[in-house]
Every structure is written in structure tokens, then in C-alpha cells.
């Protein structure tokens, strides 16, 4: 039995072309290209200028900030800080020689007087003194040697007074190395 | 099919040759921006602290003036000399001569914030004077408590005449001496700015 003509026609027709699939591929690839181009131009024409503007604004803010404190005020504060720091160092080593004179008055025997006095910044004191008797000289030297405020006592000379106007019959010379605290703080003696 | 391949190739070329380098550039710009924003925040805080400090300093103008008198900016030899002569007059000792040594600058010794501390200078005055022992004590106390700081570095006392005198004790001997006093005054290296508000 022959096939119906309708079936023969259907079978003899060439397979249908697939224009939908091809169009879809072209559309997809074209869209991909367009998206990449859009991203590129968006970055270069919009976002990059935006970032650059923000950076410039931050730079400008920083510049304005640095000018918000006047150079004069800054210098004044720094000078004041420096003065306080320097004062701290100076006062820590401030010497009070008058305090030593008071100490010497309190630590001098009744019949002893001094004819010369010399003080140097290392705390070294050189004294020349006069005493009525040799016992007074000895007592004075003993006072120096027993004092905790003196680190070292060097007696360089003891002898009879030679100058006619001397206050005592005996003269002596002594070098004292004082404890630095005598010159820097109140002593209780 | 060929056109699709062309589009895809073009997209890939654009992606790797243009977009990717541009993205790297963006990352750099964003990093720079973040860094500057962080710096701005830090600087804002620092400026705020500095302004607070300045306002405190302006409230301490009296102390600042006292500090400027104690350790002036610059040698201020005239001021120091005037103070020495004034103290001598108040103490009734007669100044015979005043020698002034060359100013000497020394670097700040503080460890903390030493870079902010200006060098300290010293001027040494060699004062030759005459007067009584009590006058000397008053003069020394005046020097030691003067608003401009003087450190007595050396002192020599000798009687005026050959007669024995008595520093520290009066035993009826002549109470008149010559004094050689070495006193050091301090100053801070002078800056361009004024030191008082």
C-alpha cells in the first residue's frame, strides 16, 4: 500500500533550519560584548573621575586641617612645653649655696672663725679658719669628720697663727667634699 | 556562528586588555582614598587634641609668662644683668665688676619628647662684689630664688683687709668681705615666634 501523499511530502522535506538557536548565540555573545564595553566605559568615564574627585576632596580637607592651627599658636605651645621640660631639668640640679652657709654656721665650733671660703660646683669647699686653741681646731675637725653631710675631709694645714691681726692663735685649712643634698634640699641639722 | 565567535573574542580581549588593568588601577585608587580618609580621621583627632592643648595653654598665660622669665627665649643679658644689680642693691652689697662668659648652647637631655625640647643655653656671670656676710647671704638667697634661675657654681669669700674675718660667725672681727661669685643663668634657644601669648 503506497504511503499517503501527505506523509510523502513530509518525509521528502529537508530538515528544518534552526535560526532561533543561532540568533540566541549571536545575541548572547553580542550582549556579552556590550556588557564588557559598558563596564569598561562605566569604570573609565564615571567611577574613576568619582574616585579622583573624592581623593582631591580629601587632600583639600587635609590641607585645610593643617591650616586650622596657626603657626604662632603652635610655636607658643612648643616653646612653653620646651621651657617646662628645661625648667624641670634645671630645678632638679638647682644649687642652694646659702643653705650650705646656714649648715656651716650650725656646724662651727664656738671659738672658730673662718678667714676664707671657696666653693666649687662639684661640692668642694675649701676653708681657712682660726681657732683660739688647738683643742678648738681638733673639735672643729671632729665635727666635720662626724657629719653625714660631708663625704670627705682633707685637713691641709694646722699651725700657729702668723698674721698679727688673726682672730685666733691657731690657723687651719680644710677641704670638704660635701654631699650634694646639702645644696639641693633643706637639711635638718 | 562566526559572528558569535567574533563577539566573544572581542569581549574577552576587552575584558583582559582593558577592564582588568583598569580594575587594578581602581583598586589602587580606592586604597589611596581609604588611606587618605584614615589619615584625615587621625589628623582630625590630632588637631582636636592640639586645639584643646592650645586652649589650655591660653588659660595658663600667667604660668607661660613665668616660664618665659625663668628660662627666656634668647640670652636676655640686659635683663639678667639688671636683676643681678637689683638684687645687689636690695642686699646692700657693692658690685665691683661683672664678667660675662660666652653663651653656650647644649642639646636637650630629656629622653621623652627630646625632639620638641629646644636646646638650653647657659651664660655665666663672674660677679666681683664686696659687703658684709649678712649682705652676701641675702644676695645669694635672692639669686637662688630669683624668677630668672641662677645657679651659683662658685663662690670665694676673702676678707677685705688682712685681718681675720668671720663668715658664719661674728666674733668682733671685721665683717666686710670681697666675694667672687660665679653664677650661671639659663636661656632657651630663640625661636621666631613670640613666647608669650
What is the predicted pLDDT for the residue at B197?
38
Domain boundaries, chain A: 97-184
What is the predicted pLDDT for the residue at B192?
54
Residue B171: list chain A partners with CB under 8 A.
Answer: 113, 167
Indicate the range of A10-14, A102-106, B19-23, B109-113 predicted with least confidence: B109-113
Q: How many helices (H) and strands (E) does chain A have?
A: 7, 4
The pLDDT tens digits of the residues spanning B126-162 come to 999 999 999 999 999 999 999 999 999 999 998 886 4
User: Per the structure block, which three cell numbers stand in for B184?
Assistant: 650661671
The pLDDT tens digits of the residues spanning A41-77 come to 998 999 999 999 999 999 999 888 888 888 888 888 8
| pLDDT < 50 positions in chain A | 187-189
State the best of B4, B38, B44, B61 to mutate against chain A, taking most chain A CBs within 10 Å: B4
Phi, psi at A12, each rounded to 5°: -80, -10
What is the predicted pLDDT for the residue at B191?
62
What is the predicted pLDDT for the residue at B127?
95
Question: Is pLDDT larger for residue B121 or for residue B168?
Answer: B121
What is the predicted pLDDT for the residue at B93?
92
- A36 at B interface, C-beta within 8 A: yes
User: Per the structure block, which three cell numbers stand in for A126?
Assistant: 675649701
Q: Quote the pTM value.
A: 0.70
What is the predicted pLDDT for the residue at B100?
92
- A73 at B interface, C-beta within 8 A: yes
Residue A17: list chain B partners with CB under 8 A.
Answer: none
SS (H, E, C) A132-188: CCHHHHHHHHHHHHHCCCEEEEEEEEEEECCCCCCCCCEEEEEEEEECCHHHHCCCC
Identify the bridge partners of residue B177 per DSSP, sorted by sequence position.
B131, B159
Is the pLDDT reported for residue B194 higher than 50?
Answer: no
Is the pLDDT reported for residue B111 higher than 70?
Answer: no
ipTM of the complex: 0.71
Residue B7: list chain A partners with CB under 8 A.
Answer: 26, 29-30, 32-33
Residue A20: list chain B partners with CB under 8 A.
Answer: none
The pLDDT tens digits of the residues spanning B42-95 come to 999 999 998 898 888 888 888 888 888 899 988 899 999 999 999 999 999 999
**CATH of the structural domain A97-184, one choice from 3.40.1190.20, 3.40.640.10, 3.30.428.10, 3.30.1360.100:** 3.30.1360.100
What is the predicted pLDDT for the residue at B187?
92
Residues 137-156 of A with CB under 8 A from B: none
What is the predicted pLDDT for the residue at A12?
65
Of residues B19, B32, B156, nearest to A40 (C-beta): B19
Distance from chain centroid for Cα B86: 26
The pLDDT tens digits of the residues spanning B160-178 come to 864 444 454 444 456 789 9
What's the gap in Å between the CA of B87 and the closest CA on chain A?
15
CB contact under 8 A, B116 and A78: yes
CB contact under 8 A, B165 and A113: yes
Amino acid at each position: 500500500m503506497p504511503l499517503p501523499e501527505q506523509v510523502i511530502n513530509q518525509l521528502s522535506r529537508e530538515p528544518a533550519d534552526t535560526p532561533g538557536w543561532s540568533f540566541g548565540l549571536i545575541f548572547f555573545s553580542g550582549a556579552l560584548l556590550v556588557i564588557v564595553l559598558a563596564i569598561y566605559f562605566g569604570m573609565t568615564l564615571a567611577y574613576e573621575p568619582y574616585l579622583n574627585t573624592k581623593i582631591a576632596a580629601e587632600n583639600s580637607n587635609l590641607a585645610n586641617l593643617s591650616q586650622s592651627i596657626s603657626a604662632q599658636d603652635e610655636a607658643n605651645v612648643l616653646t612653653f612645653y620646651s621651657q617646662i621640660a628645661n625648667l624641670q631639668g634645671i630645678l632638679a640640679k638647682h644649687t642652694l649655696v646659702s643653705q650650705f652657709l646656714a649648715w656651716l654656721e650650725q656646724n662651727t665650733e664656738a671659738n672658730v672663725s673662718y678667714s676664707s671660703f671657696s666653693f666649687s660646683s662639684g661640692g668642694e669647699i675649701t676653708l681657712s679658719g682660726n681657732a683660739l686653741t688647738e683643742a678648738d681646731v681638733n673639735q672643729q675637725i671632729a665635727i666635720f669628720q662626724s657629719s653625714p653631710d660631708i663625704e670627705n675631709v682633707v685637713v691641709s694645714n694646722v699651725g700657729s697663727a702668723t698674721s698679727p691681726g688673726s682672730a685666733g692663735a691657731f690657723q687651719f685649712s680644710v677641704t670638704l667634699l660635701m654631699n650634694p643634698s646639702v645644696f639641693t634640699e633643706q637639711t635638718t641639722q | 556562528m562566526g559572528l558569535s565567535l567574533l563577539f566573544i573574542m572581542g569581549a574577552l580581549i576587552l575584558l583582559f586588555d582593558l577592564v582588568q588593568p583598569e580594575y587594578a588601577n581602581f583598586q589602587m585608587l580606592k586604597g589611596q582614598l581609604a588611606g587618605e580618609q584614615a589619615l584625615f580621621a587621625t589628623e582630625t583627632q590630632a588637631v582636636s587634641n592640639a586645639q584643646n592643648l592650645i586652649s589650655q595653654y591660653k588659660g595658663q598665660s600667667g604660668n607661660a609668662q613665668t616660664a618665659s622669665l625663668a628660662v627666656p627665649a634668647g640670652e636676655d643679658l640686659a635683663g639678667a644683668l639688671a636683676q643681678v644689680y637689683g638684687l645687689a642693691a636690695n642686699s646692700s652689697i657693692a658690685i665691683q665688676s661683672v664678667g660675662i662668659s660666652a653663651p653656650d648652647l647644649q642639646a636637650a637631655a630629656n629622653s621623652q619628647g627630646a625632639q620638641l625640647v629646644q636646646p638650653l643655653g647657659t651664660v655665666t656671670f663672674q660677679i666681683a662684689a664686696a659687703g658684709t656676710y649678712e649682705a652676701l647671704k641675702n644676695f645669694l638667697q635672692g639669686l637662688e630664688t630669683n624668677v630668672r634661675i641662677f645657679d651659683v657654681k662658685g663662690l670665694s669669700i676673702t676678707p677685705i683687709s688682712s685681718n681675720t674675718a668671720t663668715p658664719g660667725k661674728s666674733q668682733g672681727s671685721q665683717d666686710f668681705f670681697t666675694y667672687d661669685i660665679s653664677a650661671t643663668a639659663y636661656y632657651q634657644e630663640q625661636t621666631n615666634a613670640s613666647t608669650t601669648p
